[in-house]
Amino acid sequence: MAAMAHELFTAASLAGRTCIGLVFLLAAIQKAMHWRILPGVIANYRLLPQWAPLPAAALLPPTEMVVAVLLLSAQLRPWPVLAAVVLLLVFAAAMAINIRRGRNHIDCGCGETFLRQPLSWSLVGRNGALAALLVPSVMMPSPMSVSLALSGVAAGIGLFLLYLSFNILAALPGANARGRRFA
């Protein structure tokens, strides 16, 4: 029983890193593709000094890319996992602060420009849930068999596809009826 729980925990660790690595990879690519509008999206949050959105916009896509590559690589170190958790929680906090200020009309800037999404508590919760997916990885599980690794990667890709599906559903017209969102 304990061995099976350990294997499940190990697979969950890999699934979380795979999913979040793909999320950060997609976000980095999309932010880099739309680099001209990124400083404005960051400035809309009104959390940084006036001079800071441009440097933040220059640093964010490469930071997300490095975190993504390290999460997806076989070389597991604790700092990429912790960096991903911190980034997700900082993004969630920035959204929550603006929602509390009544500024939920601004675009979340989550990377998918064709899916403009105003801030919502569900997006804050989504980032919290994404950060929670990395909790098993913080414990640094031991090496795993090839079949278990393939299962973990497949589960992570499945979670990533669910993430994409919820984002698309949330961006559909009418998805924000009565302040509720799907994602």
How far is Cα 78 from Cα 97, in angstroms, rounded to an integer? 28
What pLDDT band is residue 142 in, cutting at 50, 70 and 90? Answer: low
Q: How far is CA 143 from CA 70, 108, 170, in A?
A: 17, 37, 37
Read off the pLDDT of residues 39-84 as tens digits, 9 standing for 90 and up: 999 999 999 999 999 999 999 999 999 999 999 986 667 889 999 9
Question: pLDDT by residue (tens digit) across 5-26?
Answer: 778 888 888 899 999 999 999 9
For 178, which DSSP code?
G
Instruction: Inform me whether the pLDDT recorded for 175 exceeds 70.
Output: no
Q: Are 11 and 155 in contact (CB under 8 A)?
A: yes
Domain ranges, residue 153: 2-179
Number of domains in the chain: 1
Q: Exposed/middle/buried for 36, CB within 10 Å: 0-12, 13-18, 19+?
A: exposed
pTM above 0.85, yes or no: yes
Task: For the chain, report the end-to-end CA distance as a whole number of angstroms.
Answer: 35
Confidence bin at 181 (pLDDT 50/70/90): very low
Task: State the Cα–Cα distance between residues 137 and 173, nearest whole angstrom.
Answer: 37
What's at 84, amino acid-wise? A
Least confident window among 34-43, 111-120, 147-156, 157-166 = 111-120
